């Protein structure tokens, strides 16, 4: 992440998402296909990983649930409830590492019945990234099919 720019790699699903803050590229390895869309058209801001670190600041009411141990580490579990109907979630449960005060995981409970989970396995801060790191480079993916919806 760098501001509103990010890359999310989901190797188990064969998906990699790039965003430069204006456009989003969803690359699907299995079909060697990338779909490009404008950020305004790409769906809920809740799917933007950068929002995960500040979502509690506006639009949600928080409730402390428990202090527990997960994977040998003490975490705080907090539930977030939307204060308006503008979000497509009924609740978000986050776990914060007690020692570092950094997010360890989040579960988003969609109003459509789906549950989306994020687990932070490794977080490095104060790293430098160039802006080109957040843009899909089709030259690195031979014969990729590009679907531009912008």
Give the other-Cβ count within 10 Å of 141's Cβ: 16
Tell me how long the chain is: 150
- The pLDDT score that the predictor gives to residue 87 is 75
Whether the predicted model's global pTM rises above the 0.75 cut: no
- The pLDDT score that the predictor gives to residue 49 is 59
Split into its structural domains, the chain has a count of 1
Q: Which domain holds residue 41?
A: 6-123+130-148
Name the pairing type of β-strands 145-148 and 115-119: unpaired
CATH code of the domain in which 55 resides:
2.50.20.10
Averaged pLDDT in 10-residue chunks for the chain of 150 residues? 82 86 92 90 54 68 94 94 83 92 89 87 80 94 93
1 within domain boundaries: no
68 within domain boundaries: yes
């Amino acid at each position: 992440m760098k501001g509103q720019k990010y890359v999310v790699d989901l190797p188990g699903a064969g998906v990699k998402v790039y965003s430069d803050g204006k456009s989003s590229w969803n690359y699907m390895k299995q079909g060697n296909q990338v779909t490009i869309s404008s950020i305004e058209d790409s769906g809920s801001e809740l799917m933007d990983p950068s929002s995960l670190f500040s979502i509690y600041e506006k639009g949600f009411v928080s409730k402390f649930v428990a202090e527990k141990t997960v994977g040998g580490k003490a975490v705080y579990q907090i539930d977030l409830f939307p204060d308006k109907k503008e979000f497509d979630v009924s609740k978000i449960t986050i776990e914060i590492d007690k020692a570092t005060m950094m997010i360890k995981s989040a579960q988003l409970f969609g109003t459509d019945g789906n549950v989306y989970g994020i687990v932070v396995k490794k977080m490095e801060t104060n790293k430098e990234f160039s802006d080109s790191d957040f843009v899909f480079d089709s030259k690195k993916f031979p014969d990729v099919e590009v679907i531009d919806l912008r």
